[in-house]
Amino acid sequence: MIVAIDAGNSRIKWGIWADGGWGGMGALETADAAGLVAVASGWPADARIAVCNVAGEGVAAALRAALGARADAARWLRPGLRQCGVESRYLPPERLGADRWAALIGARARVSSACLVVCAGTATTIDVLDADGVFQGGLIVPGVDLMRRSLAGATALLPYADGEFADLPRCTQDAIASGCLHAQAGAVERLYRQLPAGSPCLLSGGSAPALAAHLALPVRRIDNLVLEGLARFAVTEGATA
Ligand SMILES: Nc1ncnc2c1ncn2[C@@H]1O[C@H](COP(=O)(O)OP(=O)(O)OP(=O)(O)O)[C@@H](O)[C@H]1O
Ligand SMILES: CC(C)(CO)[C@@H](O)C(=O)NCCC(=O)O
Ligand SMILES: [K+]
């Protein structure tokens, strides 16, 4: 049994992997990381624990506190040159976000062709994996929600409000909502041009539902690609330990 934990900048997600599938999943706001203590007490005592954290040292400390005596045995995913069938061309490899590395590992476990790996969270990351499992590079873009917030925060006249998506928006709210989605979808579709025609685009993350409808690509929605990669990492570590 594996408990996989993905600590992102907005939310901390976890899943309990048993018998080849997810037995349970949950999430809390990263701002409420102290609440992990109560959550962790419900995790199976004999589970292997795999973690990736891109939310900083304070969240790492909250995670260690929540894991208590199990913290030392937990495996923290550290991006490197090569892992679980994925090879990195990032410079330096260890600077890559651990969640991106986990998503690439999860993607490679599902797809043996070239693919685009998109995680739409606080930031949107758009990463290219080739047919040999080599991570060739990728983009970091402000996430859908962060784009909208930054417009509201940096201008006098733009509200933070919901709008409808339109090809030619005719009001402020729709112009913002549509602009942010077009920007994300455009970045995804532009990077996709570097892949062989017909390659799948794996799409995950909290804002995936908002983005999916606007991508003119062969999209495969995966609920928790980062957690899948972490489970894969934990299984492989177990086999070689
Ligand atoms: N239920 C929901 N419906 C719509 N959007 C959501 C929902 N939950 C989260 N989001 C959006 O998803 C984003 C967070 O997604 P996710 O949890 O994948 O990011 P994260 O892992 O915390 O971020 P990162 O990895 O980029 O630091 C937020 O911007 C939020 O607006
Ligand atoms: C880009 C984010 C914020 C996405 O969660 C995360 O992967 C991160 O902090 N990455 C570190 C920098 C990098 O990947 O180059
Ligand atoms: K993430």
Domain assignment of residue 25, given as a range: 2-76
Residues 196, 130 share a domain: yes
Where in the sequence numbering do the catalytic residues fall? Answer: 99
Q: What per-residue confidence (pLDDT) applies to 237? A: 82
The model's confidence at residue 238, banded by pLDDT at 50, 70 and 90, is confident
pLDDT digits (tens, 9 = 90+) for 17-62: 999 899 999 999 999 999 999 999 999 999 999 999 999 999 999 9
Q: Is the CB of 95 under 6 A from ligand 2?
A: yes
Report the residue among 12, 54, 141 best suited for mutation to probe ligand 2: largest number of ligand atoms under 8 A from its CB.
54
CA 62 to chain centre: 20
- Our count of domains for the chain comes to 2
Q: What per-residue confidence (pLDDT) applies to 216? A: 95
Got the DSSP string for 31-78? GGGGGHHHHHTTS-TT-EEEEEE-S-HHHHHHHHHHHGGGTTTPEEP-
Question: 20 CA to middle of ligand 3, Å?
Answer: 22
Q: What per-residue confidence (pLDDT) applies to 54? A: 98
Does the structure show a pLDDT above 80 at 162?
yes
Does the structure show a pLDDT above 50 at 241?
no
Q: What per-residue confidence (pLDDT) applies to 240? A: 52
Mean pLDDT for the chain overall: 96
Instruction: State the CATH number of the domain containing residue 172.
Output: 3.30.420.40
- What number does the ligand 1 atom closest to the CA of 204 have? 18
Question: 96 CA to middle of ligand 2, Å?
Answer: 6
The model's confidence at residue 131, banded by pLDDT at 50, 70 and 90, is very high
Does the structure show a pLDDT above 70 at 80?
yes
Q: Which ligand is nearest to the CA of 13?
A: 1
Does the structure show a pLDDT above 70 at 239?
no
Residues 220, 121 share a domain: yes
* Structural domain contains residue 108: no
Question: 238 CA to middle of ligand 1, Å?
Answer: 30
Which residue, 25, 54, 76, sits at the end of a domain? 76
Q: Cα(first)–Cα(last) distance of the chain, in Å?
A: 16
SS3 147: helix
Question: Is the previous residue joined to 209 through a cis bond, with omega within 30 degrees of 0?
Answer: no
Q: Is the CB of 140 under 6 A from ligand 2?
A: yes
Instruction: Find out whether 213 and 221 touch, Cβ atoms under 8 Å.
Output: no
Consult the annotation and say whether 193 binds a ligand.
no
Residues 122, 71 share a domain: no
